[in-house]
Amino acid sequence: MRLYTTHEAWLQITVYNSNKRVDMLRALFARNMALPRHHAPVLEEMTLNGIAKYIQSGKGKRILCMVGAGISTSAGIPDFRSPGSGLYHNLQKYNLPHPQAIFEMSYFKMNPQPFFTLAKELYPGEFKPTVSHYFMRFLRDKGLLLRCYTQNIDTLERVAGLTDDNLVEAHGSFHTSHCLGCQKAFPLTWMKEEIFKDNIPVCDECEGLVKPDIIFFGESLPQRFFQCIQTDFSDCDLLIIMGTSLVVQPFSSLTNRVSETTPRLLLNMERSGQTDPIMAALGLGSGMDFDSENAYRDVAWLGKCDDGCLALAELLGWKEEFEALVTAEHSRIDEELTTAKLQGATIGAHHS
């Protein structure tokens, strides 16, 4: 019997453990790659028309929407990552240490002026909801919308008519604000007045800095987000994803919380949220599968979100009714803005 030195014994144990890990990985690959999970197609065809037929059949009755900045770009609000025109590109004029700093709490406490300058440019009430926003309102009016999960902070879902119950604002919004010191709440109207006076909003109780309730990097998501995802995604029978690159966690992982038989429709300028073949083979995650021979429920419609919503409405036989809603709502908002401007001019003339 051979005696090993301490170093030799350590090498033997290391080699043994390495071989065990390799064997485990080999078995995992063999199991996942040799026995792929094949599903019967959920849709008649992996197209927008297939989604329309699914809804018309009565199977899509509890629709969840997940939306990002791409649904607001046609309103004039930039998205975050588009080269040359995205929000991060346009933040260079604020002389930030890096673009994301404008949404970092440490930088905000040190220098809040860039954030509030940007907020004035993007403030809710200065833009009209898009066709995509009204499509979710239309689904709600049809009794088909379970919930809208939005990454956006522009509150255009609310302007389009969605209520607190219809919404999960995953990254917060300008709808409410709180003092960072004493936590006193402030309404949207107060914050807007401060921002448009070019003031740094300060609490009238403790003189602490007041911040809109949008989620900065490193902050926890709203409690409502975690409460609603417990049941919404298991209850939904159709997931519609619009205008998001699906790169920000934990929002992006929500696509995998629906059941394996729930269709998923992506309306976006490019494919996002796709399956990583290596991770899928390891059984360590999944994404959407639009193109493989095993695709059975995922549909990607590439183009502007508004155009995708109009195309789906047409396939469902809703186009005229839907366009009438959008036209009526935009006319109403235009009238309200005109009235507000006239009232403002009258008050200004009176004071002068």
**71 appears as a binding residue in the annotation:** yes
**233 appears as a binding residue in the annotation:** no
Classified as helix, coil or strand, 246 is coil
How many residues make up the chain in this entry?
352
**244 appears as a binding residue in the annotation:** yes
**229 appears as a binding residue in the annotation:** no
**90 appears as a binding residue in the annotation:** no
Query: How far apart (Å, rounded) are the C-alpha atoms in residues 242 and 304?
Result: 9
**9 appears as a binding residue in the annotation:** no
From the list 255, 264, 241, the residue with the least C-alpha distance to 60 is 264
**65 appears as a binding residue in the annotation:** no
Query: How far apart (Å, rounded) are the C-alpha atoms in residues 18 and 2?
Result: 22
Handedness of CA 82, 87, 92, 97 (dihedral sign): negative
Alpha carbon of residue 65 to chain centroid? 9
Report CA-CA distances (Å) from 86 to 67, 81, 105, 200: 17, 5, 22, 25
**143 appears as a binding residue in the annotation:** no
Write the DSSP symbol of residue 19: H
From the list 264, 214, 247, the residue with the least C-alpha distance to 104 is 214
**195 appears as a binding residue in the annotation:** no
Q: Give the Cβ contact number of residue 66 at 10 Å.
A: 26
**154 appears as a binding residue in the annotation:** yes
**295 appears as a binding residue in the annotation:** no
**203 appears as a binding residue in the annotation:** yes
**80 appears as a binding residue in the annotation:** yes
Write out the DSSP string of 87-98: HHHHGGGG--SS
Burial class (CB in 10 A: 0-12, 13-18, 19+), 308: buried
Are 227 and 256 within 8 A, CB to CB? Answer: no
Burial class (CB in 10 A: 0-12, 13-18, 19+), 293: exposed
Which residue, chain included where needed, has tokens 């902070």?
153
**62 appears as a binding residue in the annotation:** no
38 noted as active-site residue: no
**270 appears as a binding residue in the annotation:** yes
Q: Which of 171, 175, 330, 351 is catalytic?
A: 171
**309 appears as a binding residue in the annotation:** no
**152 appears as a binding residue in the annotation:** yes
Query: How far apart (Å, rounded) are the C-alpha atoms in residues 93 and 85?
Result: 13
From the list 296, 302, 346, the residue with the least C-alpha distance to 50 is 296
**214 appears as a binding residue in the annotation:** no
Q: Would you please indicate which residues are annotated as catalytic (active-site) residues?
A: 171
Residue ranges at the known binding site: 69-73, 79-81, 151-154, 179, 182, 203, 206, 244-245, 268-270, 305
Q: Which residues are annotated as a binding site for NAD(+)?
A: 69-73, 79-81, 151-154, 244-245, 268-270, 305
Residues of the binding site for Zn(2+): 179, 182, 203, 206
